[in-house]
Amino acid sequence: MPSVAAEEELRQREILRETLIYKTFHAMVENWSDEDRGNCEMNRQILHELCNSYFLDIDRKKRFHGIEYADAHKRAAYTVKWIMRFRPIQTKGENVSNNVLLANEQLAMLVAFKKLSIPIERVEECIIEHLLYMLRFRNIDTNALAMSFYLLQKDTGAPT
């Protein structure tokens, strides 16, 4: 059973991750139309559960491999995995735009880019479209996604 200090550290890490995702959501919808913004919302309870699941999963992986820290690309990939599994952005209406329909995919991508300091304006549009398609319709392989993020980071000249 984890110590009280370990549980508190985990909770602090969860709060930081929740804050990052929540702020990224608000930055994402800032430039959307009022209608689109009104057709979706972040479910904070689901957000909390996804962050908890993320940390349990990544900590389990670190213990299994005997490593102290997961690299930034793995952390980004696991964050994407759990955003897509829990889908914390909920629609509030029907006949919504593609922005709203793909809000969780966009959020997952933007959080990963932010974690890796990948400037979205340097990413080719076709890569963004392929990434959104993959997040929407394909099973997520965190190892392949981590490698993709590494290559994308190199390609865009973002610091590693």
Instruction: Say how far apart CA 11 and CA 38 lie, in whole Å.
Output: 31
Give tens-digit pLDDT for 113-156.
999 999 999 999 999 999 999 999 999 999 999 999 999 999 99
Mean pLDDT of the chain: 94
Give the residue-averaged pLDDT of 34-60: 95
Q: Is the pLDDT of residue 49 over 80?
A: yes
Sign of CA dihedral 7, 109, 88, 16: positive
Contact 111, 20 (CB under 8 A): yes
* Domain assignment of residue 128, given as a range: 4-156
- pLDDT for the residue numbered 4: 87
The upper half-sphere exposure of residue 99, i.e. CA atoms within 13 Å in the direction of its Cβ, equals: 15
Q: Is the pLDDT of residue 61 over 70?
A: yes
- pLDDT for the residue numbered 93: 84
pTM, two decimal places: 0.93
Instruction: Say how far apart CA 54 and CA 156 lie, in whole Å.
Output: 27
Residue 104, token pair as written in the block: 């969780």
**Tally of domains within the chain:** 1
Residue ranges of E strands in 46-114: 89-91
Using alpha carbons, list the distances in angstroms from residue 72 to 44, 58, 97, 117: 25, 12, 32, 10
Q: Is the pLDDT of residue 1 over 70?
A: no
Instruction: Say how far apart CA 101 and CA 91 lie, in whole Å.
Output: 8
